[in-house]
Chain A
Amino acid sequence: MIRFSIYRFNPDKDSKPYMQDYQLDESRLEGRKMLLDAILLLKEQDESLSFRRSCREGVCGSDAMNINGSNGLACITPLSSLKQPINLNPLPGMPVIRDLIVDMESFYRQYRTIKPWLMNDEPEPEIERLQSDEERKKLDGLYECILCGCCSTACPSFWWNPGKYLGPAALLQSYRFLVDSRDKATNERLDELEDPFRLFRCHSIMNCVEVCPRDLNPALAIHNIRKMLLKRAT
């Protein structure tokens, strides 16, 4: 038997949240290994248990949750790596809608704030904008972000400065455009970031790096943005 303790809250009927214990017969997994496989089976036992999920392979970012105290994607977290009872909580610091489902709007708003689109007002060539292999490689480790929210919701600065500090995910995306050789809005982007809260509330706590399910490094991106600002100032 695999044992779970799962955060439950249904605003239709619960006045406050509580933890509920579940047990799963391992044989029902039929060899499947991931946490998502297990909680899908728990949902068959109790269809009221609610969580988001879609791709079940770590590319869509739906099933981010707090797993034994650490944020991650259920679909790529092996059950074998988890101590029992497996404690599942919604992503920290976010308003809970129901059970493991949180309201992500504040996270998405910060993403929109950094203007996450390529800006280039030069006339468009008939062919692709040329970019060397070297320039393109600078986007590796940045463009792969799936907006799951694991990093930002693991970041104390993001919790303590709601709406003000952009958080690791948005800053990683900001840097993705700052270093794109095709983007021509570098100064404008840096202007927007030069603010006591938006960027500088990062205290290098590094939780973001630890939890990123895609092995990206938002802390390094933030460090690099600071360097760009410094370089611009001198």
Chain B
Amino acid sequence: MKNNIERRRFDCLVIGAGGAGLRAALQLVQADLHVAVVSKVFPTRSHTVAAQGGMNAALGNLTPDNWHWHMYDTVKGGDFLGDQDAIEYMCRAASRLVIELEHFGVPFTRLENGRIYQRPFGGQSQNYGGEQAARTCAAADRTGHAILQSLYQQNLRSRTHFFDEYFATDLLVSEEGVTQGVMVIDIESGQPLIIEAKTILLATGGSARIFRTSTNAMINTGDGMAMALRAGLPIQDMEFVQFHPTGIAGLGMLISEATRGEGGYLINKDGERFMERYAPHALDLASRDVVSRAIATEIREGRGCGENADYVLLQLHHLDPDIVKSRLPGIRGMSIRFTGIDPVDAPIPVFPTAHYTMGGIPTNRKGQVVVPLHHAPEEPQQGLYAIGECACVSVHGANRLGGNSLLDIVVFGRAAGNHIIDFLADNRFHTPLSEASIEQAMDHIQRWDKKGEGESVADITKQMRVMMEQYCGVFRTQDVLDEGVEKGRELLARLADVRLGDQSKVFNTARIEAFELENQLEVAMATLLSAAARTESRGAHSRLDFPDRDDREWMKHTLYYNRDGGVLDYKPVRTQPLTVDSFPPVERVY
């Protein structure tokens, strides 16, 4: 069988066609490299399309600003778990890269003077914690859509090779641990394909779909993270899952922070603007973890709205309706469509909703995947790269700031592209593929050809999502997390008995969902076990039984391996920036 599999060869294979993958591909194709992008959906359907509010850069078009203030806010926003060299690199590069996107054609909203419009977002300050800054460059409330379209268009112009609707199942790794290629399935034909590549870049996005109520697209199933785990690599800081304060209650659709940036605020059942109690200075524009905890607390203490007192309200109707219509048209449409409420007239019911995976495949600021091998905690894996939400650089630390993810993807997409170009100059040849690794990848694919009666993919998926919501939510305790670990292990054991009823080849989406379930369960276990071990509260990881941050014990990154039922390791935070002084951990108030 395996000898009949078609093979293709490229200098670099990018997996994932969101903003990160496309930005990297552009860098590579413009350097005349032979680059291919594999994506399980047509590129413009990638989840970057759903990013609303904007992209941070200290352009200073509206308020005085500079990259160092942005860096401070990002370090503080991440509750001092972010690596400060990477954060400095990102914040310094931000302005140049927003300008570059504008030159690529992104239709940013404009100011009177023709420059890019910027809006205030959570956790942004002038002068290291002073007045609110307006740092988020926006194309109305469709910034992700605008950026993804422009990046795809630039790739079309440069003739990047696309494998649209191909699903990557496994990395092909040599006995020496060098990544040599990827096994993919052509979704349309159902046939496997081996893609050999001298360098491989994972840009597969996040995994917040492991939670029942999620702002994420259905495709966000942590595929790249799980592929890394199966290849024996660790994933980092998976306990840090961002719950966005304002998903539509019960449904999960994202209502952008831009609503609060434009002047909206949250109220409880008494009509009280409760953020005054939790963040007297920043109010509704405190960091997302802070606002989400505040909402969850209001509801726990009985001040939620509605029949079941299980949500709070986001009020916009005090704003000029024309501002809402011109700057938040997508949000308004979404609210009308899914809740029947026009935010120009009445407030929107919202609830903290799983949104973003701060953790991911460990990398350095060049996008190289780094793991503890022999001598140091961060030795680069030759030829293997990861960027965007599937990676953990870590610029977001324990909590990402709004507007920093669109920035992250273009900054590190470009940086990884550049490093790959350099690497390929010295590494010009493919190495012979490991037959053992092909065999292993084929076994994995053929596992789903097993016939007979068994549980369904849909049942296990559903139970996993409910379990994650119940046992690994905004507030966590040891008992609940430990129980979650048990439940997760049970689901993992049941996975062996799952059978596909539909064994057909052509565009079998049920088969893809089976692979996605495997990936999600891997990521869910990483999340639960990492969370159960971290006995402190930091950023988005909030432990009722350990309410304080513990810098002495826990200012370190978690590394999770999936061997032996899950093994944890730790590595230090890179507190030393590239050129400026380190921001030492201090108490975090907004």
Taking CB atoms and an 8 Å cut-off, the chain A residues in 38-79 that contact chain B are 43-44, 47-48, 50-62, 76
Within 8 A of A (CB), among B104-132: 104-105, 107-116
**Residue-by-residue, is B471-511 near A (CB-CB < 8 Å gives 1, otherwise 0)?**
00000000000000000000000000000111011111110
Cross-chain contact B102 with A128 (CB below 8 angstroms): yes
A53–B507 CB distance below 8 A: no
Segment of A140-148, A150-158, A202-210, A220-228 engaged in the interface with chain B: A140-148
Residue A201 is within 8 A (CB to CB) of chain B in the complex: no
Does A115 reach chain B (CB closer than 8 Å)? Answer: yes
Selected from B42, B49, B458, the residue in CB contact (under 8 A) with A44 is B458
Assess the B104–A118 pair: CB atoms within 8 A.
yes
B54 to A: closest C-beta gap in Å: 14
Beyond A58-B337, A98-B506, whether A31 also contacts B250 by CB under 8 A is yes
The residues of A that contact B226 with a CB separation of less than 8 Å are none
Give Cα A54–Cα B50 distance, bound, in whole angstroms. 11
Question: CA separation between A50 and B506, bound complex, in Å?
Answer: 10
Bound-complex Cα distance A183 to B500 (A):
51
Cα separation A182 to B103 with both chains bound (whole Å): 9
Name the interface residues of A130-183: CB closer than 8 Å to any CB of B. 130-133, 135-136, 139-140, 143-144, 146-147, 177, 180, 182-183
Judge whether A12 is part of the interface by a CB distance below 8 angstroms. yes
Decide if B578 is an interface residue (CB 8 Å cutoff): no
Interface residue? B303 (CB, 8 A): no
Q: Answer yes or no: A11 CB below 8 A from chain B CBs.
A: yes
Question: What residues of chain A lie closer than 8 Å to B297, measured between beta carbons?
Answer: none
Q: Are A59 and B506 in contact (CB under 8 A)?
A: no
A112 at the interface (CB under 8 A from B): yes
Q: Which of B146-154, B174-182, B346-354, B567-575 is found at the contact surface with chain A? A: B146-154
A11 to B504, CA, bound (A): 9
Q: How many B residues face the partner with a CB closer than 8 A? A: 61
Residue A32 interfacial (CB < 8 Å): yes
**A55/B49 contact (C-beta < 8 A), A48-B504, A144-B145 known:** yes
**In the complex, A186 has a CB within 8 A of chain B:** no
User: In the complex the two chains form, is A47's CB within 8 Å of B457's CB?
Assistant: yes
List B contacts of A60 (CB < 8 A).
41, 44-47, 49-50, 217
CB distance from B22 to the nearest CB of A (A): 13
Nearest Cβ in chain A — how far from B322, in angstroms?
13
**Bound CA–CA A44/B457 (angstroms):** 9
Closest-CB distance, A28 to chain B (whole angstroms):
12
The residue of chain B having its C-beta at the shortest distance from the C-beta of A48 within the complex is B502
Cβ contact within 8 Å between A124 and B506:
no
Q: Say yes or no: A54 contacts B217, CB within 8 Å.
A: yes
Considering only residues 78-115 of chain B, those with a C-beta below 8 Å from chain A are 98-99, 102-105, 107-115
* B183 at the binding interface (Cβ < 8 Å): no
Whether A35 is near chain B, meaning CB under 8 Å from some CB there, is: no
Nearest CB of A to B585, in Å: 36
Given the contacts A50-B507, A143-B107, A117 and B102 also touching, CB distance less than 8 Å: no
Q: Are B104 and A128 in contact (CB under 8 A)?
A: no
Q: Known contacts being A76-B337, A128-B102, is A97 close to B250, with CB within 8 Å? A: no
CA distance A51 to B512 in the complex (A): 12
Query: Which residue in chain B gives the minimum CB-CB distance to A124?
Result: B103
Q: B157 contacts the other chain (Cβ, under 8 Å)?
A: yes
- With both beta carbons as reference points, the residue of chain B lying nearest to A76 in the complex is identified as B337
Do residues A56 and B217 form an inter-chain contact, with CB atoms below 8 A?
yes
16 other contacts beyond A140-B140, A183-B105, with CB at 8 A cut-off? A11-B506, A47-B456, A47-B502, A48-B501, A53-B218, A59-B145, A60-B217, A62-B41, A112-B156, A117-B156, A126-B99, A129-B102, A129-B103, A132-B110, A143-B139, A177-B105
Which residue numbers of A lie inside 8 Å of B, CB to CB? 10-13, 31-33, 43-44, 47-48, 50-62, 76, 97-99, 101, 104, 108, 112, 115-118, 120, 124, 126-133, 135-136, 139-140, 143-144, 146-147, 177, 180, 182-183
Supply 11 A–B pairs (Cβ within 8 Å), ascending by A: A43-B458, A50-B508, A55-B47, A55-B217, A56-B218, A97-B188, A97-B507, A118-B103, A118-B150, A136-B108, A146-B44
- Top 8 nearest A-B pairs (CB, nearest first) are A118-B105, A130-B114, A117-B153, A47-B510, A48-B502, A12-B504, A128-B102, A60-B45
